[in-house]
Chain A
């Protein structure tokens, strides 16, 4: 006999299902119920830094858009600070750094507006390149998928990023780099996520 460890087990995950919008974005499901839905304003009005739009589509193993997916974004502000007691400092009033992203049900296209995050501290030493953490749930996804979005105009920082560098297959790192363009004066980054198949996006066990 040995002493028993008294840890609990984490509740196992289950798919968010096709009707995830009812719970997390009821307006998209087709009805108004809450005074305010959560997660539609990531940066708030007072955030410093460059205003950007991120857009993309999630693609399944058949090459088709995933039209019922929901994403959550979690990011630092332009100074690399997360809005959290352990986030490295204070953030602008109204900056939450978290958002919910839903698709156009007809096309699967999604987009969100935010500010470009700054570099953040490494785990113990060094610096992480600017990035946005993403969490993806949908029908057919049994446990939420974590990935990261990096920026293609940060080539030097990306080359030194400790997380990109632990991805052994260098060509897979490119799946995490969003591509910058400008449209009508607005900075837009394109970030398509491939769940499976050619150029499958790198997903993390965080």
Chain B
């Protein structure tokens, strides 16, 4: 019998580097020294766990979770759905997925956002859910708008949803962003382009999913999330290292 072992090392060539001069804020917030690589110990292979007592059923419905009774946010109604998998292709069940986004006009409900597009009184802009036993999750929301940001003088973020995922260990903790198929702003975004590999960028672009669309109601986008996979221990580790 095999048993679960260490997590596969993170492919740092696939992830964005800490420093990218074209994403200006990273310049002073990026460590200059190399990361010290650690083999997994108990604090890395464990991580927080969440259950249905932690969240509420409406938390994954951004169309309803902040709206006044009988009202809805402005915008294109969409469903985002997919699976959380690991690098071995296995589903990651019962893990917390959290999302946040701007409203349809590109404005965040955040006291630090001063963009001139208006706050939508019926839209909070955050949601959370647990994957089911097959790693499946879904949200309902409105499609976020693009918005300008201070980097170069005329930079615009493509429409995006921020996604936070835990997995089952602290090694799997990940925050990323979901983009939408066909968005012409993706190619020129300095934050997107912190990722060097085009195939890696493609992994963050949700596909329009007509089959999952709800007729006369909502368009669907499919977005699978992949967390680090874990080795099976075929032989006992040598008792050395740390």
User: Which A residues touch B148, using CB under 8 A?
Assistant: none
A60-B100 contact given A76-B43, A204-B38, CB 8 Å threshold: no
Flag whether B175 is at the interface (Cβ < 8 A): yes
Judged by DSSP, the binding face of B is loop
Shortest CB-to-CB span from B139 to chain A, Å, is 12
Flag whether B217 is at the interface (Cβ < 8 A): no
User: Which B residues touch A9, using CB under 8 A?
Assistant: 11, 14, 87, 199-200, 203, 226
> What residue in chain A is nearest B113 (Cβ atoms)?
A19
- Interface positions of A (Cβ within 8 A of B): 6-24, 26, 29-31, 33-36, 38, 60-62, 64, 66, 68, 72, 74-76, 82-84, 86-88, 96-98, 105, 120-126, 128, 131, 133, 135, 137-146, 162-163, 165-167, 172, 195-197, 200-206
A15 touches B191 (CB 8 A): yes
B176 touches A14 (CB 8 A): yes
A96-B170 contact given A8-B89, A14-B191, A140-B29, CB 8 Å threshold: no
User: Which A residues touch B85, using CB under 8 A?
Assistant: 8
B35 touches A203 (CB 8 A): yes
Shortest CB-to-CB span from A169 to chain B, Å, is 9
B20 touches A142 (CB 8 A): yes
Flag whether B47 is at the interface (Cβ < 8 A): yes
19 further A-B pairs in the complex, CB-CB below 8 A; given A22-B108, A64-B28: A10-B87, A13-B174, A14-B16, A14-B192, A17-B177, A23-B162, A24-B164, A29-B111, A34-B59, A61-B32, A82-B42, A120-B41, A121-B41, A122-B41, A141-B29, A144-B174, A166-B242, A201-B31, A203-B35
